[in-house]
A = this chain, B = another copy of it.
């Protein structure tokens, strides 16, 4: 008898704040691999701000998830049956969706291979510092931001999955790292645990004045995860020839009217010779191996601390995603997929 397969289907497009009710759980028998296919048992699901983009209609970097289809999601899992392509027991990361079981073909999922001389890779690391999250921080900051020793790097959503790593890499590169986060506790954590030079709580009434004070030499690199008012405040402090790494605009994803999302004092881009570069981590996949090796080395030396928030139970995924947009999590937000109990 096949195992039960819980699947979360997207029943409606999101509008305004993300409402978990647009996801519906159905239970089906786990599928059977056809020729060249393998069956993956998902173990950990990654939740990311970009999930909101995937659910929405309109242009994006991936086609929107079709209505009534299983929700797209990155998972860590294990091959439990194979009809070619993968060996049973292989650990993989791929877009295997919000479900217990997924069929994959040869190139759908990447095996998680430990590097020689390192311990086996933990699922939370495979999804976090060594996964799309860590790679986003690495390539966004180093390839686009090009931080130089002594420069000031500001990162918004700093206590989030990407932001918390951006600040730590900035420190490795000898920069002043300033974070903007949503609570006082997160800010304390950024400074005390992760070594940020300063962190500003965007809910403080005087957060803009605090930002000015935290950046006495202006800002050279903005690693932008927030957009909106935060981006405007950061751009106002950008130095000549500053770089804006446009990684995300989480504050704007809930807005149905996308017609006015841009930075306000845009003429500063001209007069200060700023660079703004949008990027999507998928473009960097061929370059992951070297970056992952460096990241492992930094972790081993204690220069990068991994952090995550683990939600237990696949059934809690929709509510956890809503919490992501409220800023409930610290570090990478992951769902540990439990055993289905029909």
Instruction: Identify the A interface with B (CB < 8 A).
Output: 53, 59-61, 227, 246-249, 252, 258-280, 283
A236 to B259, CA, bound (A): 11
The answer to whether residues A278 and B270 also contact, given A264-B262, A265-B258 and a CB cut-off of 8 A, is yes
With most chain B CB atoms within 10 A of its CB, the pick from A227, A259, A263, A266 is A266
Chain B residues lying within 8 Å of A272, measured Cβ to Cβ, are 61, 278
Tell me what chain A mostly uses at the interface: helix, strand, loop, or mixed: loop
Residues of chain B with a CB closer than 8 A to A53's CB: 271
Instruction: Give Cα A264 to B259, complex, Å.
Output: 5
Chain B residues, CB < 8 A from A279: 270, 273
A266 to B268, CA, bound (A): 16
Q: Which residues of B contact A275 (CB under 8 A)?
A: 275-278
B residues in contact with A276, CB < 8 Å:
269, 274-277
Q: A275-B275, A277-B275 are in contact. Are A249 and B261 (CB under 8 A)?
A: no
Q: With A249-B266, A266-B249, A276-B276 as known contacts, state yes or no: A60 contacts B271, CB within 8 Å.
A: yes
CB-contact partner of A270 in B246, B260, B264, under 8 A: B246
CA distance A279 to B274 in the complex (A): 7
Number of copies: 2
The 9 closest A-B pairs by CB, nearest first: A262-B262, A262-B266, A269-B278, A270-B278, A276-B276, A261-B266, A61-B271, A262-B263, A60-B271
Q: Is B261 in contact with A246, judged by CB distance below 8 angstroms?
A: no
* Nearest chain B CB to A278 CB, angstrom units: 4
A271–B62 alpha-carbon span in the complex (Å):
9
A-B CB contact pairs (8 Å), 23 listed: A60-B271, A61-B270, A61-B273, A227-B266, A246-B269, A247-B270, A249-B267, A258-B267, A260-B260, A261-B267, A262-B262, A262-B264, A268-B278, A269-B276, A270-B280, A273-B277, A273-B278, A273-B279, A273-B280, A273-B283, A275-B275, A275-B276, A276-B277
**A249-B266, A266-B249 known; A271 vs B278 contact (CB < 8 Å):** yes
Minimum CB distance partner of A283 in chain B: B273
Q: How far is the CB of A154 from chain B (nearest CB, A)?
A: 18
Point out the residue from B264, B274, B280 that lies within 8 Å of A271, measured CB to CB: B280
Collect the chain B residues with CB atoms within 8 Å of residue A261's CB: 264-267
- Distance in angstroms from A242 CB to nearest chain B CB is 10
A252: B residues at CB distance < 8 A: 267
- Which listed residue, B270, B278, B283, touches A248 by the CB 8 Å rule? B270
